[in-house]
Each structure stands twice: as structure tokens, then as C-alpha cells.
Chain A
């Protein structure tokens, strides 16, 4: 279990993490979401005792990080996939890690086989793709058979097979009582993997709830409707209280009314429908609703400039 209490981190005048308190409990996968610069990575570094908190404390299984003489047996982590010296082989990278925590070197080969790097174990890491780096980082995290796992963006660069493998591995570990804490920007994937979500924005915890509750509270889903008289249909739906947006293919995306009501309004107006589809609530929709006012960096919605 990871226990974080009143944790803050200031860099000069910037408050990267602002008095956050939360628990990451065993037996479930907890997702950690937040916009860029929201404090996710800083929080994770403080959990690993890499950055010193300005205030607050972190405990792993009830004890501070530094009380664990073999930390890799307590928490396995992957913060940056590329944080490896490229001139060393994958096997040797895991070997020094095993020596550092008194882990049986036989685990090195087991972990390499587990993550599917057997054929390249003796290759220099600088020849690896991002996905292979991720697999090596995951092997390093699992090396000490820890009961807590913490991964920052572990899905980046993984292929479809790798994503499915990692999802199943994390779910299996959680179902065996491990504490699993992952951050990701791949919201669709996280919605499938995480049982519980922590949402952080501008250094503060904005939501701490089961995934299903966050979806039901912050995302309603939409109805996609297609007709040969879209403008007339949109007027009728707007009068009924819906919010309408038009897709590139000419379909209408309707928020605020359910599919039955949309169908009934179209029928009453004598407008034939070519499509009426309900799209379930998405984590992306919930995430944007929660973090709407807590995003520091936004894309410019205007058109891209003409190439010069």
C-alpha cells in the first residue's frame, strides 16, 4: 500500500504538488491521470524518495521508503523507459540491479523471458526500440517480486500485443493482492485496466474514486444521429435542450438527450434517420470535465498556419 499524506513540492515560486493526500490500496489497479505538468511525475518521484518533499510524507507498507533496506522487494517502478545506459546489455542492466538488492541472479533470466526479450538479452540497450525499453523497464520493476508496482506511462511504445500483455499482467498482479499504480495518457486503455482513478490537476487531487463512479459522475455519453435533414433535426433537438455538434461526416453528436428521446423527436418531426447510435461515456470525456479548469497547457484550437 502507498500512503501519501499532505505531500507538497515547490520549485521556487511554482507549486508542482500542492498538499495532496491519497492512498493507493492493494488488490486493485489505480490509474493516475492528469494534464501535462499537473504533478504526476513529481509525485511519483517523491514516492520513490528521489525528490525531497517540501511538506508531507510517503509510506510504503506503513514505513518510509528509506526504512526498506531492499526497496526493490517492496516497490517495483518504471519512471522513464530510456533511463538506461545504452552501451550496457539488457541482461547486465538487470544483473547490477539484482546485486544491489541481494536478488538471486537467476531472476534476471526469468524476467527477461517473462517480458519477451530473450532473443536480445545480450544486445546493447541502445539498439532497442521504445517498446523494448518499456519491456526492460517492466522486467526491472518485477525483478524483486515486489508487492507494490508503480509505472509512469508504461504503455508508451508498446505494440498491441504488449499492451494486452501488460494489461493482463497488471490485472493479474492486482487480483493477487498487489498494489498497482500507473499513470497513462492512453485513457481508453486505462479505462479498461484501472479499477480506481486518481485525477490530479495543478498539483491538487481533483478526483479519487472508482473508475465506474468517475465515468457515471462526469461523463454522460453521446448519441450520434444521421439524417438527410440535419439542420432541421438539429433545431428540433436544440429546442428540446440538447447540445449539438456536427462531425466531419455530417452526422450530429447529441449531448444531453438519450437515444429514445432523440428518436421520438425525429419521428414527431417526420424526419427519417439513417443512423441512431449511442456512444457510451468515455474516460476522455470525464477527464476533460474534471480537469477543465486545471490545465496549464492547451492546444490552440485555430487552424494550423500555412506552410512557409
Chain B
């Protein structure tokens, strides 16, 4: 058989990547549910922060002096970071598993045959969206927490360096967990399966915590996540920056597995 030879048009990698990012951005922004999820994360973070800090404030009179010294008001307010993690883990996994469940992934990959770039674009966009919403959610949670704890002399001003770092590190951790969601969605291809896998990833460590040595418990994802929004240093918890590095490592390992999977498997 003889092949006709036509020279394909060349595109720089930057232009090709830009087009994929733009296509994925259009997908992300043209689903109303994605906007609703962001608004939900902000509102629910404020709500969780209110409940958590109100509980701490109401029990403040019965707390011992030693416990008051160990109390971490930032962590109490930003405990709501779990809401962001769940929201963006699910959003990330569904950004691709929903395409598999409808069959639209075949339209996507026929149009954009650089498969790993498709996954990386989704991951980058979900991470950016999660970071933006994470910052707003954490600021909202800190504001609510400040209002609840102020009467106990535990104010949480945003212009405090420690508080600001917790807001940013917490938002970055939520970003990384969004990437975990995208990766699990790519690996498992089914929305419900990927959601369950994300839930197990985040909370599963708690189930097995009794079996883990004490030195390893701080590396469990949920403990690492909460460590990113903690101001009090304890031997049981990772330093916030190290905690973020641990979560980011989980995300990168899964992302590499996801890009390998999408390239090697049939669509």
C-alpha cells in the first residue's frame, strides 16, 4: 500500500497547550453546577466555622487552663477546610469521570489527542478554582470564627501573619485535593466510584489509624490537611508547610498514575 504524504501543520507546544486549557476552561465555566459548588463551599465553610467556634466558645468556661494554652483558634475556625476538600475532590473527580460516564471523553480525546495534557489542564484548572474558592472560604471562616471567639479574647485578625499563612496553606491543600479528585476520576472513570475513592482517601486513614504507628498517623491525609491550618505546634502534627508538601506529594503521585493511565488505556 502506498501512502499519500501531506505535511501536517505544525503548532508550538505553547499554542497547543493553550488551546487545551481554553477548551477545558470553557467546559468548567459552562456548567452551572460548578459555580454552585463554589458558592456552596464558601457558604458551608462559613457555617461549619460558625458551628465549630460557637461550640468552643460556649464550652470555654469549662476548659482547664492547660487546655486553654493548647487551644488553637485558627484550627477551630478553619476546620471548615474539610468542606472545601470534599467539594473540590468531588468536583475534580467528576470533571473527568462524568465525561467517561456519558461517553464525551471520546469526543474530547478525538479533538485533543494529547491525552496527558487534557488531564493536566483539568487538574490545573480545578486546582486554580479550588485555590480561589479556598481563599474566600477560609477568609469567611476566619471572619465567622473571629466573631464567635472575640468575646473570649481569642480574636483572629486577618492581618496577623500566622492567620494569613493558615488561610493560604489551607487553600493550597484544598487545591491539591482537587488534583487528587481529578486523578481518581481519571483512574476509576466512574463518578460514584471516584467519589467513594476520594472519601476513602481523605478519611480512610482514620479507619486504620489504630493500626498505624503513632509516627505515621500525622501523614494520614485528613491529619495532614488539618495540620495545614494549625498554628499550634505539637509532636503529633506535621509542620503546616510539611503537611502541605505531604498532600501535594500524594496529589502528584496520583496525577502521574492518572496521566499514564489515560495514555495507555483505550478511551
In the assembly, what is the distance between CA of A118 and CA of B15, in Å? 31
How many angstroms between the C-alpha atoms of A67 and B104 in the bound complex?
22
One of A87-95, A227-235, A273-281, A293-301 contacting the partner: A87-95
Identify which of B22-30, B69-77, B195-203, B204-212 touches chain A.
B22-30
Please indicate the chain B residues that have their CB under 8 angstroms from the CB of A129 in the complex.
Answer: none
Chain B interface main SS type = helix
- Name the distance in Å between A256's Cβ and chain B's nearest Cβ: 40
Q: Is A19 an interface residue (CB 8 A)?
A: no
Q: Which of A50, A87, A96 contacts B110 (CB 8 A)?
A: A50
Q: Would you list which residues of chain A between 45 and 70 have a CB under 8 Å from chain B?
A: 45, 48-52, 59, 61-63, 65-70
Judge whether A49 and B110 touch: CB under 8 Å: yes
Q: Are A77 and B3 in contact (CB under 8 A)?
A: no
Whether B266 pairs with A48 at a CB distance below 8 angstroms is no
List of 6 A-B pairs having minimum Cβ-Cβ separation, nearest first: A83-B103, A100-B23, A92-B30, A96-B26, A62-B4, A50-B267
Q: Are A96 and B19 in contact, with the CB atoms below 8 A?
A: no
For this complex, 23 residue pairs linking A to B, each with C-beta atoms less than 8 Å apart, are A3-B1, A3-B3, A45-B267, A49-B110, A50-B109, A52-B264, A52-B266, A63-B6, A63-B8, A65-B113, A69-B9, A72-B111, A83-B103, A83-B107, A84-B104, A87-B32, A92-B26, A96-B23, A96-B30, A99-B22, A99-B23, A100-B20, A100-B108
Interface status of A171 (Cβ within 8 A of chain B): no
**Complex alpha-carbon distance, A161 and B108, angstroms:** 30
Distance, CA A100 to CA B109, complexed state (A): 10
Q: Using a CB–CB distance below 8 Å, which chain A residues touch chain B?
A: 1, 3, 5, 21, 23, 45, 48-52, 59, 61-63, 65-72, 77, 79-80, 82-89, 92, 95-97, 99-102, 140
Name the residue on A nearest B13 (C-beta).
A69
Contacts of B22 in A (CB 8 A): 99-100
Contacts of A52 in B (CB 8 A): 264, 266
Find the residue from B10, B27, B33, B264 having the highest chain A CB count within 10 A.
B27
Q: A5-B1, A45-B106, A96-B30 are in contact. Are A71 and B10 (CB under 8 A)?
A: no
CB-nearest residue of chain B to A49? B113
Instruction: Report whether B111 and A51 are in contact in the complex, using a CB–CB cutoff of 8 Å.
Output: no
Assess the B8–A69 pair: CB atoms within 8 A: yes
Contact in complex: A88, B106 (CB < 8 Å): no
Whether, in the assembled complex, B242 has its beta carbon less than 8 Å from a beta carbon of chain A, the answer is no
From residue A3, how far is it (CB to closest CB) to chain B in Å? 6
Chain A residues with CB below 8 A from B43, complex form = none
List residues 77-136 of chain B with CB under 8 A from any CB of chain A.
98-99, 102-104, 106-113
- Do A84 and B102 have beta carbons less than 8 Å apart? yes
Instruction: Contacts A21-B1, A63-B5 known; list 18 others, CB within 8 Å.
Output: A3-B1, A5-B1, A50-B110, A51-B266, A59-B3, A61-B6, A62-B6, A68-B9, A83-B102, A85-B31, A85-B104, A95-B26, A97-B23, A97-B107, A97-B111, A101-B111, A102-B11, A102-B15
Contacts A85-B98, A88-B31; A99 near B26 (Cβ below 8 A): yes
A66 with B113: CB separation less than 8 A: yes
| Least Cβ–Cβ distance between B139 and chain A, in angstroms | 30
From A83, which residue of chain B is reached at the shortest CB distance? B103
- The residue among A3, A62, A69, A100 with the most chain B CB atoms within 10 A of its own CB is A100
Residue pair B267, A51 in contact (C-beta under 8 Å): yes
Q: B266: nearest residue on chain A (CB-CB)?
A: A51
Which A residues lie within 8 Å of B30 (CB)?
A: 88-89, 92, 95-96
With a CB–CB cut-off of 8 A, which chain B residues contact A49? 109-110, 113
State A14–B24 Cα separation when bound (angstroms). 36
Specify the chain B residue showing the minimal Cβ separation from A48.
B110
> Is B63 an interface position by the 8 A CB rule?
no
* A-side contacts of B15, CB under 8 Å: 102
